Amino acid sequence: MHITRKEYLLEQKEKGRRLMGVFPALYPREILWALDIVPAEIWDPPLEIRQAGAHLQPYICSVVRLGLELILQGKCDFLDGFLFPHTCDSIQNLASVIYDFIGARKPCYFFYHPKIPHGHTARDYYLKNLKALAAELKRQFGPLKMDSLREKVDMGRRISELLGELYDLRAARRLDASNEAFYRTIRKGEYLFPDDYIAELEGFLTQTRSEESRNGATIILSGILPNPPQILTLLDDLDVQVGHDDLLNGSRRLLISNEKPGDPFEYMAECYFHMPPCPTRGSSISDRMRHLLSLINATGAKGVIFNVVKFCEPEWFDVPNLQEELKKRGVPSLVLDTELNQGLSGQMKTRLEAFIEIVRVHRESITTKH
Amino acid sequence: MTYFAGIDVGSLSTEAVIIDEDATMLGYSIQETGADPVRAATEALREALSLVGVSREQLHHVVATGYGRINIPFADRKITEISCHAMGAHHLFPDTGTVIDIGGQDSKVIRINAEGRVLDFTMNDKCAAGTGRFLEVMAGTFGVPVQELGELSLKAQKEIPISSVCTVFAESEVISLIAQNRPREQIIRGLHRAVVSRVWGMAQSVGIEGAVTMSGGVAKNRGIVALFEENLGHSIHIHSEPQIIGALGAALLARGEIHQK
């Protein structure tokens, strides 16, 4: 598929589908799909901040800043509504700024999910909010047929299988794709309707599946999203592969459940509570650490890069503890404090390259010992 | 005889070091980087080769480091200054466990192992606070050569605290203090303390272990070194020409690569 995101969305609109601007990160996409709504996720639009600064404090992350700028510049006028999941306080308050203060002149929806990733009450709360959102969307966008919802749940499941296969192949070094190409493809799920995304992922799998194992150093990439993209291209230039990620818009959203879909709402809840740990869902440090270590073991990665968006509170609260735990286990880690779409300064490049030099020496010394 | 060169293209100065196959440093050159890093690197290498009487053809391998490393066309390999300063400091002072490098536009604290390899590091990457450039701007404010700042600082019996290490804010604070007729030496000592506190704070994130070696142009400033030693409670290794440690490390890594092959 060689058309831009905007062209694709306008094409979908012409087909009669509705378009929903969705802020990060976790939301029941199957419900939107079943209502023939295309979710267009808003993470990091490539814009210069001109107007958003007037409405936000300086110490707010650039996901929020860029999202507001996108609306203020009139670049969302073709959308039919907005959905704000309660990912963090900043996105929650952005919803207020847009809905209560600026006035979005479009329907706005809010999706609250529990901040405790386990327990019956959390599950009940999640199910209640899933159904409440479905009811609200139904009022505006027409009937929600259960058959259609079941079909979209199956498609979501297929997407997860394909993504899981791509991640597994990459972890086993049997994916012949650059870091940049991998995330360019994965991120198309931020706006493609499921049938198109499935076709995209299947095509990418066919093109990149490799019988030969890749060599070279491997790292784990943690954080919100792979931006600035120059991080990926620099890793490609250094012949370093991201073996796995712990990214909010990457593997942290992989819906993993071995259960067969029965009731679609129950299944969506099941998936939510089986997602990998994430600070935006209130996961504990020990769960996150266990998960990171499992990714390191599965890929043979020799280091972890925390690429943290500046002022992203949920991420920053955990990073010092995770770094300390990794250090105790002899795993090198690097923290990059980045602004979206701002590229990498010379010093940032130096830090990243120096970290890779450490990882390589670490890898060589382990190889020598064995 | 086989020779190796290391070139460190920094924001303010560019250094070239030539070593032989026994890792003996034969000579070096220091040039101002100016607006043309490639020209500075070419000139530094030409002068260093000329000083030691070695031709370009006799050089087996060249490693470039420093912020300008990416553009040096005649380098066989580019390695970050973090690894190069670590290797250079280890070669000169084998008991080094921590390297403090304060260069023109950044400061780094590097923990190294017994082979001179980097274990961990930290560096500032947002602004010039606590760097050589900060001191250069302050020297300009006082109208004294930057080389004299250290000695002036050592003359002060007291110091006037400077509340910011932001180059812009500190400069306006210094201008106010000058206007109040406060003793120049005491203000300068306060500025030195601000730089040391900034780097000291960074150092806590990686920890300071083993003997400490200081590299980079700011290591020539006796006032800064004295304040670091005061914090540490013991002396710091300072080479007679601390500016060349990155380039020396690059040359050693160039030699190491050939020996590994």
Q: Is the peptide bond before A46 cis (omega within 30 degrees of 0)?
A: no
Ranking A138-147, A253-262, B103-112, B159-168 by mean pLDDT, the lowest is A253-262
Ranking A98-112, A191-205, B126-140 by mean pLDDT, the lowest is B126-140
Q: pLDDT for B196-228, tens place per residue?
A: 999 999 999 899 999 999 999 999 999 999 999
pLDDT at B243: 95
Of B120, B121, B125, the CB nearest to A345: B125
Are B154 and B169 within one domain?
yes
The residue assigned the tokens 């999910």 is A113
Percent of chain A with pLDDT over 90: 86
Give the three-state DSSP class for A307: strand
pLDDT at A99: 87
Q: Which residues of A touch B67 (CB under 8 A)?
A: 346-347, 350
Percent of chain B with pLDDT over 70: 98
Are B163 and B260 within one domain?
no
Say whether A357 and B79 touch across the interface (CB within 8 A). Answer: yes
pLDDT at B7: 98
pLDDT at A370: 47
Q: pLDDT for B5-39, tens place per residue?
A: 999 999 889 999 999 999 999 999 999 999 999 99
Which CATH number characterizes residue B27's domain?
Answer: 3.30.420.40
CB B17 within 8 A of CB B25: yes
Rg, Å, chain A Cα set: 20
Structure confidence at residue A365 as a pLDDT band (50, 70, 90): low
CB A206 within 8 A of CB A170: no
Q: Which tokens in the block code for residue B210?
A: 């083993």
Q: Which residues of A touch B121 (CB under 8 A)?
A: 351, 354, 358
Full residue range of the structural domain in which residue B82 is found: 1-93+243-261
Q: Which residues of A touch B119 (CB under 8 A)?
A: 358
Ranking A216-225, A250-259, B69-78, B140-149 by mean pLDDT, the lowest is A250-259
Mean pLDDT of A219-247: 97
Count the alpha carbons within 13 Å of A326 in the hemisphere toward its beta carbon.
Answer: 29
Q: Is the peptide bond before A25 cis (omega within 30 degrees of 0)?
A: yes
Q: How far is A131 from chain B (nearest CA, A)?
A: 46
Q: pLDDT for A14-67, tens place per residue?
A: 999 999 999 999 999 999 999 999 999 999 999 999 999 999 999 999 999 999
No. of helices (H) and no. of strands (E), chain A? 13, 8
Mean pLDDT of A97-105: 85
Helix, strand, coil % over all residues of chain A, rounded to 5: 55, 10, 35
Quote the number of domains for chain B.
Answer: 2
pLDDT at B166: 80
3-state secondary structure chain B: CCEEEEEEECCCEEEEEEEECCCCEEEEEEEECCCCHHHHHHHHHHHHHHHHCCCHHHEEEEEEECCCHHHCCCCCEECCHHHHHHHHHHHHCCCEEEEEEECCCCEEEEEECCCCCEEEEEECCCCCCCCHHHHHHHHHHHCCCHHHHHHHHHHCCCCCCCCCCCHHHHHHHHHHHHHCCCCHHHHHHHHHHHHHHHHHHHHHHHCCCCEEEEECHHHHCHHHHHHHHHHHCCCCEECCCHHHHHHHHHHHHHHHHHHHC
- Residue A171's closest CA among A94, A105, A229, A254? A254
A347 vs B: CB within 8 A? yes
In this predicted complex, what is the ipTM? 0.87
Mutate which of B69, B82, B253 to test chain A, going by most A C-beta atoms within 10 A? B82
Say whether B125 and A347 touch across the interface (CB within 8 A). Answer: yes
Residues 83-142 of B with CB under 8 A from A: 83, 105-106, 117-121, 123-126
Are B60 and B109 within one domain?
no
* Domain residue extents for chain A: 5-140
Say whether A350 and B79 touch across the interface (CB within 8 A). Answer: no
Say whether A358 and B81 touch across the interface (CB within 8 A). Answer: no
Mutate which of B8, B12, B81, B83 to test chain A, going by most A C-beta atoms within 10 A? B83
Q: pLDDT for A139-192, tens place per residue?
A: 999 899 999 999 999 999 999 999 999 999 999 999 999 999 999 999 999 999
The residue assigned the tokens 């879909």 is A261
A366 vs B: CB within 8 A? no
Are B180 and B218 within one domain?
yes
Are B18 and B106 within one domain?
no
Mean pLDDT of B50-61: 95
Of B82, B118, B126, the CB nearest to A350: B82
Are B82 and B117 within one domain?
no
Say whether A347 and B123 touch across the interface (CB within 8 A). Answer: yes
Percent of chain A with pLDDT over 70: 97
* Domain A5-140 bears CATH identifier 2.40.37.10: no
User: Does A369 have pLDDT greater than 60?
Assistant: no
Question: DSSP code of A193?
Answer: -
Are B84 and B140 within one domain?
no
Q: How far is A325 from chain B (nearest CA, A)?
A: 14
Mean pLDDT of B96-114: 93
Are B224 and B145 within one domain?
yes
Q: Which residues of A touch B118 (CB under 8 A)?
A: 354, 357-358, 361
pLDDT at B128: 72
Are B221 and B103 within one domain?
yes
Q: pLDDT for B57-91, tens place per residue?
A: 999 999 999 999 998 999 999 999 999 999 999 99
pLDDT at A363: 65
Mutate which of A306, A348, A351, A366 to test chain B, going by most B C-beta atoms within 10 A? A351
Q: How far is A192 from chain B (nearest CA, A)?
A: 37
pLDDT at B155: 94
A238 vs B: CB within 8 A? no
Name the phi and psi angles at A186, rounded to 5: -55, -40
Beta B13-20 vs B25-32: how paired, if at all?
antiparallel
pLDDT at B130: 77
Are B39 and B159 within one domain?
no
Cα(A64)–Cα(A56) distance, rounded to whole angstroms? 9
Residues in chain B, how many?
A: 261
Say whether A351 and B125 touch across the interface (CB within 8 A). Answer: yes
